[in-house]
Amino acid sequence: MLSDIEIAQQTTLAPIETVAEKLEISKESVELYGKFKAKITLPEDKKAPLGKLILVTSINPTPAGEGKTTVSIGLADGLKKIHKNAVLALREPSLGPVMGLKGGATGGGYSQVLPMEEINLHFTGDIHAITTANNALSALIDNHIHQGNELGIDPQQIIWKRSLDLNDRALRHTVIGLGNKAQGVPREEGFDISVASEIMAVVCLARDLSDLKSRLAKIVIGYTYESQPVTVHDLQVEGALALLLKEAMKPNLVQTMEQTPAFIHGGPFANIAHGCNSVVATKAALRLGEYAVTEAGFGADLGAEKFLDIKVPNLEKAPDVVVVVATVRALKMHGGLASDQLENINLSALEKGFANLKKHVQNMQKYQLPVVVAINEFATDQTSELSLLQKLCQKIGVKAIRSSAWAEGGMGAKDLAQTVVDTINQQKADYKRLYQDYLPLEDKIKKVACEIYGAREVSFETNARKQLKEFEKNGWDQLPICIAKTQYSLSDNANLLGVPDDFVLTVREIVPKMGAGFLVVLTGNILTMPGLPKYPAALNMDIDVNGNASGLF
């Protein structure tokens, strides 16, 4: 069997100008980055009609694999097969996981976005620009303190962290500014992976350069000795940061293996951030495509909830349908099977695990959106399992369509595409937010925890309870919330698969992300700087004398 990168390297791509031309993007709006990538600047056109928005999400991920990106890509290619003009809007991969465990993050098999080496490595430099802006801000903060500290920033109350787009556990907890008086002021510091930087969230939610600058200005970097918030605007560097992010704000156009256009732009974490590609990219896809296919990170409890409660108000357009991806293998794990038993037929485990899918489908229906289930097929799936899963879905009133896009590309997702189109035509989406921003902060947290995760109640640790009051005092409580929780369970305990009930969600800390425009609510211990495994993917990566890559899965 060919590896993803081998399949990718066998594929003939269209020059990206041709892809742009077919979308009727004017030549002036296209900036090429090599032959197969481009940055696009669409002129403002308020009257442009928008396409239909398809949001792809999934059950809680398991080690068995769900393939949400693969299904998204396959679905867009499938729409093309039934003669619809579809445009993808996806996240750009972080280098950390690419070098670490995961290899590429550009789909798989015959449903990939290309050129996969370049998208997975530096792409058009967006994340590097974000890393640079993030760390320039850090350097400016420490320099401000070193040069007299006019603002009275308390080195022990700085919440802005440095970042690198790598998996590097040794940078989680550090001390900087050591040496002597000339080497800065000593303080504790930590590094996050760049995609966890608030600047990533800001770039992904900003409508345009002016919105970008005003969001950057609002970022709270820490507190004074009197515990008053200090913002980027206090440091007067929002202009410099916006300048560093100028190119990163432009969405990137690439293509699938079947030459379907794909915007790949922005990639914030789906726990401490909102987990979906940029507003500008999704808007571009909506303006250029009859159907825009987009994806939300992790499972529907994290990614889709945040898409619907955080991104949609900024996008000013809600999904017309939600596609929930599930696999027979993963549902069997949710039903209690161990990962080495997934090859065997086990209908009762499947039926038990179905509860996880059902909960996510019902959650999406709370937003008054039509839902379609996509079954991402694996070679080991048994017909009896596939038809049981379809029957179970039918019982709860949703269609479950098999997709073999991984093995067959768009042809394998034709049925799924047709069902999605029919659903959009037949069922009216009547998007309703889960909560209004003016609800008390505590109530907003309870609403998501109880209604989406299924928690019995929410408990606030002492510090978090104190913060509820402080945030109210600062006038920060009117923002939407972004709960950081494990992706592996509906609860805050990664080991509870299926549909945990009778659990209490514990809130540890609340972090203001005033630039992004949401409050991060931390439950459990969320790693914002991953580590490398014993044998990192990097050990297998290589390049030959002609510049051909290998080892990128």
Which 123-142 residues touch a copy of itself, going by CB under 8 A? 124-125, 128-129, 131-132, 135-136, 138-140, 142
Burial of 356 (0-12, 13-18, 19+ CB in 10 A): buried
61 is in an annotated binding site: no
Does 104 count as an annotated binding residue? Answer: no
Tokens of 84: 């619809």
Q: Which of residues 194-213 bind a copy of itself (CB under 8 A)?
A: 208-210, 213
DSSP for 480-513 reads: -EEEE--SSSSSS-TT--S---S-EEEEEEEEEE
- Is the CB of 336 or the CB of 524 nearer to a copy of itself? 524
What token pair was written down for 320?
């017309």
Ligand-binding annotation for 515, yes or no, is: no
Question: Measured from the CB of residue 97, what is the shortest distance to a copy of itself in angstroms?
Answer: 12
User: Cα–chain-centroid distance for residue 453?
Assistant: 19
Sites for a copy of itself among residues 96-115 (CB under 8 A): 99
Q: Are 128 and 203 in contact (CB under 8 A)?
A: no
Is 298 one of the catalytic residues? Answer: yes
Residue number with CB closer to a copy of itself (40 or 349): 40
Catalytic-role residue among 36, 191, 269, 298? 298
The active-site residue out of 70, 124, 423, 528 is 70
Residues 475 and 501 sit within 8 Å (Cβ to Cβ): no
Site string for a copy of itself, 153-182 (x = CB under 8 A): -----------xxxxxxxxxxxxxxxx--x
- Please, which residues have CB within 8 angstroms of residue 179's CB and are 6 or more apart in sequence? none
In the set 160, 269, 354, 378, the catalytic residue is: 378
> Active site includes 70?
yes
- Cα–Cα distances (Å) from 285 to 29, 290, 315, in that order, read 14, 9, 12
Consult the annotation and say whether 38 binds a ligand. no
Q: Mark the segment that binds a copy of itself (CB under 8 A) among 117-125, 363-371, 406-414, 511-519.
A: 117-125
**Active-site residue 553, yes or no?**
no
User: From CA 351, how far away is CA 108, in angstroms rounded?
Assistant: 28
The arrangement of strands across the sheet holding 229-231 comes to 153-158, 220-224, 229-231
Backbone angles phi, psi at 76, to 5 degrees: -65, -45
- Binding track, positions 241-280, relative to a copy of itself; x by CB under 8 A: -xxx-xx---------------------------------
Q: Return the number of the residue (103 or 517) whose C-beta is nearest a copy of itself.
A: 103
Q: Which of 160, 354, 406, 518 is catalytic?
A: 406
Does 67 appear as a known binding residue? Answer: yes
How far apart CA 368 and CA 547 sit, in angstroms, is: 50
Least Å distance, CB 100 to a copy of itself, is 9
- Known catalytic residues are 68, 70, 91, 102, 270, 298, 378, 406
